[in-house]
């Protein structure tokens, strides 16, 4: 069965601004965590996508109080801000750590680095998708597979 479990998430506190040169090292403000505290660390992913939810679940980040997990489907303004900067959520998830933005394959690599997987299967998944030598080349196929999976499940894409 391809169902997914909802993960805890945070709310967004408004727009963010880039500081300095804004390409690979974009910097942003924070979001509000579940306790109402602003955090600079978050993962913005598609909570309706079983593959995305399983990858985030395998990462072990749900138990990390320092990183907010944000479902892009319930935080459209934050998705729009990232889209304006060229980061479309249908093409890749976003990870922001200490204000530095990681997008697409770089985001899955960052999750592989900061994740705390519970078992060997989860460690292997994080390595194959995020840290293996072929991970960057594999990412476009994974993103296309996600879009196809959503179509098969009758779920809409995120970006307009």
Nearest CA to 69 among 27, 41, 37? Answer: 41
How confident is the prediction along the chain (160 residues), in pLDDT tens digits per residue?
A: 333 333 443 433 343 333 222 333 333 445 544 444 445 799 999 999 999 999 899 899 988 888 999 999 999 999 999 999 999 999 999 999 988 999 999 999 999 888 888 888 888 888 888 788 888 888 899 999 999 999 999 999 997 6
> What is the residue extent of each domain of the chain?
11-153
The Cα-based distances of 108 to 47, 93, 101, 154 in angstroms read: 15, 8, 12, 25
């Amino acid at each position: 069965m391809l169902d997914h479990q909802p993960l805890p998430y945070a709310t967004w506190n408004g727009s963010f601004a880039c500081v300095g040169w804004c390409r690979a090292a974009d910097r942003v403000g924070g979001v509000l965590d579940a306790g109402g505290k602003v955090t600079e660390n978050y993962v913005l992913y598609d909570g309706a996508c079983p593959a995305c939810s399983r990858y985030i679940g395998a990462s072990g980040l749900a138990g990390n109080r320092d990183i907010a997990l944000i479902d892009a489907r319930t935080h459209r303004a934050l998705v729009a801000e990232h889209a304006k900067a060229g980061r479309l959520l249908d093409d890749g998830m976003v990870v922001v750590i200490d204000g530095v933005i990681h997008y697409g394959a770089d985001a899955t690599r960052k999750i592989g680095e900061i994740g705390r997987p519970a078992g060997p299967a989860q460690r292997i998944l994080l390595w194959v998708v995020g840290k293996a030598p072929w991970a960057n080349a594999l990412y476009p196929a994974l993103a296309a597979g996600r879009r196809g999976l959503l179509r098969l499940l009758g779920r809409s894409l995120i970006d307009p």
